A and B are shown apart, each in its own frame.
Chain A
């Protein structure tokens, strides 16, 4: 099974800060990596698919990069409405989808 290690598990940053979350796969997953945002009490929402493609309607301050085993999710300028938990998700051909453990983002 492919394991996903997401870090950090939580972070606190100021409005306007650049925020970076990483996700590492236990083996090469090419670009089969997506990112989701879950606000408190809400269903998750797709932000990034195929490692770096921004879903329609998602603000451009969100971005993703990486390939193979190492991936990065960035919020270029943190806004109060970005308070949420963020999850990476990988896919393999079994098929199986595996989520990272999540990163809780808070405002300092």
Chain B
């Protein structure tokens, strides 16, 4: 059974650093891209970035480039999302997702087939 299990909720102060995790199991972790999605309180979904654990190729949404760092440790099947200096506006639920491709005659069509349970990050003084 494919599972993405995320680390627990965090409460931090502005300016602190943070690294949250997402552990994959039940599939070949190095063969699928893992992404991160933000959901601010009461708001919609925003794609942040994605990493291929096989070679650590990483892409970021322009909105999040330079704001966060995505990494992965394939030896323990875990992806990470980290901040060097949190802001109150980083308060949100963060989901990791697995990217899967559907192939047809026009090429590949990617989608997110599995989601982690979410990690709530609260930043408050």
Contact = CB atoms under 8 A, between A and B. Distances in A.
Given A43-B117, A49-B102, A50-B104, A99 B111 contact: no
Given A34-B111, A44-B115, A46-B112, 15 more contacts: A30-B106, A34-B112, A36-B45, A38-B45, A43-B117, A49-B111, A49-B113, A55-B113, A87-B44, A95-B59, A98-B47, A99-B44, A99-B45, A99-B46, A100-B44
17 contacts: A34-B111, A44-B95, A44-B115, A49-B109, A49-B111, A50-B109, A50-B111, A87-B45, A89-B111, A91-B109, A95-B59, A98-B47, A99-B45, A99-B46, A99-B47, A100-B44, A102-B44
Contacts of A34: 111-112
Interface residues of A, number: 26
Nearest to A32: B109
Contacts of A53: 102
